Amino acid sequence: MKADFWHERWEENQLGFHQEEVNGNLVKHWDALDAPKDSPAFVPLCGKSLDMAWLLERGHPVIGVELSPIACRDYFAGQSLEPTRTPHGALETWSAPGYTLHCGDFFALEPSDLEGVRGAFDRGSLVALPPEMRSRYAEHLGRILPGGAKVLLLTVIYDQNEMNGPPHSVPAEEVESLFGAAFRTEQLAVNGPGEPPPPFQARGMKSISEGIWLLERNPA
């Protein structure tokens, strides 16, 4: 999966992955992370997700990373905020009260960028990546998150003979294989199997399940 693919999706407004409301699994399961109220929350591949506003309302300053400047622009516009944009190594940082969004490549993030983070929410990052990139993503996430930080991870599980991702199917055994070295893994719940959303049905999918995971970074 190349960066050009995602830039094109944003440029052409092909945003089937964007949700127009706060994710229900975030609302239901965030408290399982037990993140201190004033600690920063990290949202990888954040897009213009309204989940960030929900986290800020809960008292968590938000740190995000997003490849597309269109997504960063649209998020701040939707929140009626004027961000300050500053160069930050290979990234550009867009800042406004409560928000620090790093625009650019997730793999350019350094541990210093996530200082103080105690909780993170991955709704669509892991499942957006093809198999050959998922192990790199998991390894880098383990490198940049502070010891003891927890991640609420959502996955989808379906028969990939029915539909090609993204989102990609990531079964439980793969989650444990990807994250087991750097994180303690716990599956909190499985929703489904159930009827897929209409766009997925149109692509051939017949059934889908959601996995909800709690990952805890091993001590540094």
Domain range holding 20?
3-217
Q: How many domains does the chain have?
A: 1
Q: Supply the CATH number for residue 143's domain.
A: 3.40.50.150
Whole-angstrom Cα distance, residue 5 to residue 54?
Answer: 28
Predicted confidence (pLDDT) per residue in 36-55, tens digit: 999 999 999 998 999 999 99
218 with 184: CB under 8 angstroms? yes
Check residue 149 and give its pLDDT.
Answer: 98
* Prediction pTM value: 0.92
Check residue 20 and give its pLDDT.
Answer: 78
Check residue 1 and give its pLDDT.
Answer: 47
User: Does the structure show a pLDDT above 50 at 194?
Assistant: yes
